[in-house]
Amino acid sequence: MTIWMPNIEPLPGPRYRAIAHAIGEAVSAGKLVPGERLPPQRRLADALGVTVGTVTRGYAQAEHNGWVVARVGSGTFVKQAGTRAAFDMVCSPCDSSEAIDLSLSLPPPHPLRQQALSEALSAMSASPAALTRGVSYLDARGSEGHRDLLAKWLVALGMPLVSHELLITQGGQHGISLVLNTLLRPGELMAADALTYPGAISAAQQAHLKVVGIAFDEAGMDMDALEAQCARQPPRLIYITPDQNNPTGVCLSEARRSQLVALARRYDIWLLEDGVQYLPVEQRGTPLYQLAPERTLFVFSTAKVLAGGLRIGVLRAPLELLERLAAGLRAQSWMVPPLMVDIVCHWVTQPAANMLLNWQTKEISERQKLTAEVLTDYQLRGHPRGSNVWLMLPEGVRAIELCERLLQGGVKVSSAEPFCVGSAPAPQAIRICIGAAKDQQALHSALVTIKQCLAQPPLAPVTV
Ligand SMILES: Cc1ncc(COP(=O)(O)O)c(C=O)c1O
């Protein structure tokens, strides 16, 4: 039996987290070795002067972080794979408060993510070819091998893309920013849904573009409004998330996709199609890059499928733009770190990648159902398979006040302001990122808080 006994006294924060932290450090330092059993929970609880429940939570957190595994009836054991990579525990990311943060659009957490990363790192360190690539300068577009492999993965995900149209980026945000900075000149106009992904708005601001919001409804961007804008001043580029508007989840209808393409052709407008918010293939419409390959740039990323921290994405562009975009990328950062691309390429070829995605798809559906049940009395929007829910507030409730009240109750969500394009007034609504909660229990507790805060008088009436 192990004699490992942590000293959690000097560690800050809740005790369960201190226990998990101590496990991570011990694994990292080799004080706990793969296969070693952690002390029985009661014994550790007595030794540390905490409850058994606290130890259970600490072990569960350590398991969640990918360092240990619980085996029913026999105890908790240090994981075999990737245990030396536990140094990241020292930073214990985003765990500084007890608040449930539903303001960031994240895929639901699962230890398979850390495990897949750990396995990829082990594979990298044992691969002379990957190590050589990792210390080399490569083509700004990404190596041919990397692009081929990523293209295969995208095809398997239902995105019919070919490797010679691709450029590897440091995530979806980088793809957007690269396109705006490379194809548009300061002062030119970008159009987008009147509510859209804030990263696109800030990328446009950074590129000194003008932005205009186009009204949209349940079928997506309003084509009459777009046409009127084109007649006044055609935008140089339209940024759009056709399968799932972020924040509202609205999907652009097939008819409007065709109209959009026709308008883009008539007025010679680039289309920047953002597919980062992942949906299973049967939930997606016809991609714009298929309808108008000659003018569509498509951005995708590993962030919502594998993990945001990897910072790897792809940009699909018409062939004649690739060299300009590559020159833009070279000017910014020469290339994307090959090691990170290798990690992604390894990860997506492992069975765990599909397991994770299948689990995630099911988990998001369950979270959607849970949200609909708890907030049944309220007006909810959002794609039924998407990980964001848009809650239209009842008459008289102000989003800003509700957000403040929720924060006091330990729940963080976003109001509509960051999503507003141009100066149109923000609707009274909040975005709830249901993927961000650590599990369904945490989500449930946050949703109950939201329901209670909505029911609480007196939220000041809206003054118009
Ligand atoms: C619509 C949309 N596009 C792009 C991004 C940014 O993706 P990445 O994290 O890969 O930069 C996000 C992130 O939430 C997003 O929601």
Q: Residues 355-399: pLDDT tens digits?
A: 999 999 999 999 999 999 999 999 999 999 999 999 999 998 999
- Would you say 108 and 388 are in contact if contact means Cβ atoms under 8 Å apart? no
Angle subtended by helix axes 399-408 and 440-455, to nearest 10: 120
Query: How many Å lie between the centroid of ligand 1 and the Cα of residue 419?
Result: 13
Mean pLDDT of the chain: 91
Say what the pLDDT of residue 86 is. 32
Query: How many Å lie between the centroid of ligand 1 and the Cα of residue 172?
Result: 5
Strand-pairing partners, residue 412, are 101
Say what the pLDDT of residue 458 is. 53
Query: For atom 4 of ligand 1, which residue has the closest CA?
Result: 172
128-350 has CATH 3.10.129.10 classification: no
> Which protein residues are within 6 Å of ligand 1, measured from CB?
105, 171-173, 197, 199, 241, 246, 274, 276-277, 301, 303, 308, 313
H/E stretch holding 68: strand 68-71
- pLDDT score of 177 more than 90: yes
Kind of pairing between the strands at 216-217 and 220-221: antiparallel
Q: Which pLDDT band, with edges at 50, 70 and 90, does 90 fall under? A: very low
CATH code, residues 352-455: 3.90.1150.10
Q: Ligand 1 atom closest to Cα of 244?
A: 1
> For the chain, which residues make up each domain, given as ranges?
15-96, 128-350, 352-455
Which residues 6+ apart lie within 8 Å of 53 measured at CB? Answer: none
Give the Å distances, CA to CA, from 216 to 96, 195, 223, 225, 249: 38, 8, 8, 9, 12
User: SS3 of 435, please?
Assistant: coil
CB atoms within 10 A of CB 280: 15
Cα(288)–Cα(291) distance, integer angstroms: 5
Query: How many Å lie between the centroid of ligand 1 and the Cα of residue 60?
Result: 30
Phi, psi angles (nearest 5°) of residue 283: -95, 0
Q: What is the pTM of this model?
A: 0.80
DSSP calls for 349-388: TSHHHHHHHHHHHHHHHHHHHHHHHHTTTSEEES-TTSSE
Of residues 167, 214, 208, the one with CA closest to residue 184: 208
Span 81-107, average pLDDT: 58
Residue 456 or residue 114, greater confidence:
114
Residue 14 or residue 156, greater confidence:
156
| pLDDT tens sequence across 123-144 | 999 999 999 999 999 999 999 9
Query: How many Å lie between the centroid of ligand 1 and the Cα of residue 276?
Result: 6
> How would CATH label the architecture of 15-96?
Orthogonal Bundle (1.10)
Q: Ligand 1 atom closest to Cα of 174?
A: 11
- Would you say 243 and 284 are in contact if contact means Cβ atoms under 8 Å apart? yes
Query: How many Å lie between the centroid of ligand 1 and the Cα of residue 459?
Result: 33
Rounded (5°) CA angle 340-323-202: 65
| pLDDT tens sequence across 239-290 | 999 999 999 999 999 999 999 999 999 999 999 999 999 999 999 999 999 9
Residue among 105, 173, 179, 279 whose CB has most ligand 1 atoms within 8 A, to mutate: 173
Say what the pLDDT of residue 80 is. 67
Cα(28)–Cα(349) distance, integer angstroms: 27
Q: Which pLDDT band, with edges at 50, 70 and 90, does 29 fall under? A: confident
Percent of the chain residues topping a pLDDT of 90: 78
Q: Which of 4-13, 143-152, 368-377 has the lowest mean pLDDT?
A: 4-13
Query: How many Å lie between the centroid of ligand 1 and the Cα of residue 115?
Result: 23
